[in-house]
Chain A
């Protein structure tokens, strides 16, 4: 292990880490929004759109991110839609993550017993109130563990961004290894940087899960 080399590579890894986090976070935010929208469509059984959502979820969950990125980055330009690698990375993550998040939210929503809604109505709440004050808080609690797992999963999935020429952590490591061949140092830095990004997320996630562990009351 040559620490001189490590010091030299640090700025490059930092740059890559910033890109990884930036695109990862953006992708995850969009994934959460898409997921929530899809889950609501399924929960309230909105006609027609429900079928489209179901099809999207199946397509998105049953194709690898690599293929989705290839499609967006190399496929769409053939029909005139050209995107930058960054947009493509975020879109890919959102497309993949949306379905996973949808399933996580759906499981949460479905776990809230019908009697809760009925009770809310009998207390004089309307549908919106019942959703925001009764259903959502309980659903969020149940959804939290899978949502956190998805967030970590999506952050890790950024490691295949090299397919669309994004200099994320993984590609930076591979690239440096290809030029200077300091494999040990490059891989060491790679592990360290992923841990720096992912460990706080995982710790924050478990804290959040504990905070929200009030669902199931009265179920």
Chain B
């Protein structure tokens, strides 16, 4: 009986391994054909755009169930200029690369910060926003530098964000408490599951403005980065269309209009020029 069971186990194990291996090789072989070209998108009449559904005010779902925010405003324009319907696909931070690699979406417009690592996996178009990291903490104990963190203190981050990557690589001594969604991370900060929350500074500033009792103790951490749309690696027709689109939108100051429609209310006019990147041209 024992032998029989062992046999069964070995069979099951090898079968499952074969299945995983097979699936992964299949995925590799298929990699080239995974994205849809510009023409294929136009022909189908629908473009799939990955956005956040819980990152206010950049990509979120309003009380009517509609997608809204700075990213979505841009997405709407892309749909209009391509003459296709938009199918919004809600994404988590950690899924963004996979969604492109598996062809679940044509474009990721989910406040995606350009990094060298990510650029190896996906193709970024021209940027449309500036960003740095920031840290927000409760008034009672404001974290003004990473040195303020005690040995037992935990820093809340969202899995798959640049804040997580930055702290993992540059400050491995900081103990991270990781969450999978924006909603959960905010809840955790309010409940005191961590002493502070590190994320894009745009996000933490918005949080502090919306929630009395919280202060952005570290407004800038690490380097200035940019945020850009991303397409599946190799999807050149869509990438070059996006780049042309961003340049031509710059002529009508589209992203300033976007800011005024979606962000002005929260950040005020002071941040407009720091945040907005027009026509894909950054200050540096």
Please tell me if A126 contacts chain B, counting CB pairs below 8 Å.
no
Structural contact, A195 and B5, CB atoms closer than 8 A: no
* Set B2, B168, B178, B184: member contacting A74, Cβ < 8 A: B184
Using known A-B contacts A175-B94, A199-B12, determine if residue A77 contacts B179 with beta carbons closer than 8 Å: no
User: A1 to B178, alpha carbons, bound, how many Å?
Assistant: 27
Structural contact, B193 and A184, CB atoms closer than 8 A: no
Please tell me if A14 contacts chain B, counting CB pairs below 8 Å.
no
Min C-beta distance of B186 to chain A, whole Å: 10
User: A2 to B159, alpha carbons, bound, how many Å?
Assistant: 23
Min C-beta distance of B160 to chain A, whole Å: 2
Min C-beta distance of A75 to chain B, whole Å: 9
Structural contact, B24 and A1, CB atoms closer than 8 A: yes
Q: How many residues of B contact A (CB 8 A)?
A: 43
Residues of A within 8 A of B2 (CB): 207
- Measured CB to CB, the nearest residue on chain B to A78 is B191
Residues of B within 8 A of A183 (CB): 97-98, 101
Please tell me if A203 contacts chain B, counting CB pairs below 8 Å.
yes
Structural contact, B20 and A187, CB atoms closer than 8 A: yes
Please tell me if B261 contacts chain A, counting CB pairs below 8 Å.
no
Using known A-B contacts A181-B117, A191-B20, determine if residue A77 contacts B191 with beta carbons closer than 8 Å: yes
Residues of B within 8 A of A180 (CB): 117
Structural contact, B94 and A165, CB atoms closer than 8 A: no
Chain A binding surface, main DSSP class:
helix
User: A164 to B96, alpha carbons, bound, how many Å?
Assistant: 21
Residues of B within 8 A of A215 (CB): none
Residues of B within 8 A of A51 (CB): none
List 30 A-B residue pairs with CB atoms under 8 Å apart, sorted by A's residue number: A1-B24, A1-B25, A77-B191, A77-B192, A82-B191, A163-B184, A165-B177, A165-B179, A165-B184, A171-B178, A174-B160, A175-B178, A177-B97, A177-B98, A177-B160, A178-B94, A179-B168, A183-B98, A184-B24, A184-B27, A184-B28, A187-B20, A188-B20, A191-B16, A199-B9, A199-B12, A203-B6, A207-B1, A207-B2, A210-B1
Q: Which residues of A are at the interface with B, using a C-beta cutoff of 8 A?
A: 1, 73-74, 77-78, 82, 85, 162-163, 165, 167, 171, 174-175, 177-181, 183-184, 187-188, 191-192, 195, 199, 203, 206-207, 210
- The 10 A-B pairs at the shortest CB distance, nearest first, are namely A178-B160, A178-B94, A77-B191, A184-B24, A175-B159, A181-B97, A181-B121, A74-B187, A162-B180, A191-B20
